[in-house]
Amino acid sequence: MNETKTCLSCGKPILGRSDKKFCDDQCRNSYNNQLNSDSTNYVRNINNILRKNRRILEELNIDGKTKLPKTKLLERGFNFNYFTSLLTTKSGKTYHFCYEHGYLPIENDWLILVIRDGERT
Ligand SMILES: [Zn+2]
């Protein structure tokens, strides 16, 4: 095999053993650090969005069941792309949940906010 391998970190050709992926430990470490920080940031960002969504629902759903226009959530920065689970009832209604707090979209861009049974704190 005459294939020249290059370092995954700096891209320079690797000399010596063919199973090496990096020139040295420094390249290996910087590659792994980069990988970890990107994935860590990705997870952290999504966790932050979910926590923020949950907090918005908690703040708006004072009575445990509240009907309000969708814009009330959007005003506060609610992100409808992120939720932790879905719950579809026998009648075919689908609730979106962020942890124990959820919402059901109804007509004219209104929502019914709910809290999951047994998980209310
Ligand atoms: Zn390198």
Give the distance (Å) from ligand 1 centre to CA of residue 1.
21
Q: How far is the CA of 35 from the centre of ligand 1 (A)?
A: 15
For residue 105, list its beta bridge partners: 111
Would strands 101-106 and 94-98 be described as parallel, antiparallel, or unpaired?
A: antiparallel
Task: Report CA(7)–ligand 1 centroid distance (Å).
Answer: 5
Residue-by-residue pLDDT tens, the chain, 121 positions: 556 789 999 999 987 767 889 999 999 999 998 888 888 888 999 999 999 999 999 999 999 999 999 999 999 999 999 999 999 999 999 999 999 999 999 999 999 999 997 544 4
Residue with tokens 């949940």: 97
What token pair was written down for 67?
Answer: 């009907």
- Position 81 scores a pLDDT of 98
The set of long-range contacts for 69-72, using a CB threshold of 8 Å and a minimum separation of 24, is 69/108, 69/109, 69/110, 69/111, 70/105, 70/109, 70/110, 70/111, 71/109
| pLDDT value at residue 118 | 59
